[in-house]
Amino acid sequence: MKKILMGSLIAATALAGCDPSESKEVNASSYDGSYLKIAVIGEQPDLHENNVKFMTLSFEELEDTNRVSLKFDAVFITKDNLKQADEEKYIKVYRKLDVPIFFLETTKGFLPFVFEDLTYDNASEVNDAYASGYLQEKKDSYRYWEYGLNNNQMNDQNVKDVYSRIFETISEVNE
């Protein structure tokens, strides 16, 4: 009887250390869709995808929306450039692009970048946001996407998963 009681106590102690809410990394797979050329304002993502090519772009080059829309499948703006991306003069640029634009590591979503009278500083936080995408389709309609990290945990696998989902979105937009 003591052995059963002792075994039960050991098992209960071992199980008490297990937390079902403990975060798990997703099993991010590589993107295997159509070939994508993505312009990046900022540091290029450290990803090695066979079907994705990143090319550096400046804000000045972005203003040539026809060229950017013809040459690239999407535009990424990285975290270090979000303050400049919020400048009011770029609202018209984002609205004129024929390809989606993604704001990476934004905690404020896409709204401060595409609506006047809303700045990145005074915009509300978006829960569980890691990246936001925007595409103006017609004068009064647009599409947007929000991407969060699995269990809101920042790690390489979860970030790679977000990028894979963004690549799938870009591929779907191109169809």
At residue 35, the pLDDT reads 95
- Find where tokens 């709204």 sit: 111
Residue 1: the pLDDT is 43
Phi and psi at 99, nearest 5°, equal -125, 155
pLDDT confidence of residue 102: 97
Contact assessment for residue 135 and residue 155, using Cβ atoms and an 8 Å cutoff: no
The predicted pLDDT at position 23 comes to 47
- What is d(CA 142, CA 126) in angstroms, rounded to the nearest whole number? 19
User: Cα separations (Å) of 50 from 35, 97, 135?
Assistant: 8, 26, 25
Residue 24, domain member (yes or no): no
- Residue 130 placed within a domain: yes
Q: What is the pLDDT of residue 105?
A: 93
pLDDT of residue 118: 84
38 domain-assigned: yes
Expressed as residue numbers, the domain containing 131 is: 31-174
Which of left, alpha, beta for 109 (phi over 0: left; psi -120 to 50: alpha)? left
Tell how far CA 156 is from the center of its chain. Answer: 13
> Does 26 map to a domain?
no
Residue 166 maps to a domain = yes
Q: Are 29 and 51 in contact (CB under 8 A)?
A: no
Q: What is the pLDDT along the chain (175 residues), one digit of tens a residue?
A: 444 434 443 444 444 444 444 445 556 678 888 999 999 999 999 888 889 999 999 999 999 999 999 999 999 999 999 999 999 999 999 999 999 999 999 988 898 898 888 888 888 887 778 999 999 988 789 999 999 998 888 889 999 999 999 999 999 998 8
Please give the pLDDT value at position 139: 78
Asked if residue 22 is part of any domain, the answer here is no
Q: In this structure, is residue 103 part of a structural domain?
A: yes
Q: How many domains would you assign to the chain?
A: 1
- Measured in whole angstroms, the distance separating CA 84 from the mean position of its chain's CA atoms is 18
Contacts of 40 (CB under 8 A, 6+ apart): 54, 55, 56, 57, 75, 76, 77, 78
Could you tell me where the DSSP H helices lie in 97-152? 111-114
For 105, residues 6+ apart whose C-beta sits below 8 A from its C-beta are: 78, 79, 82, 130, 131
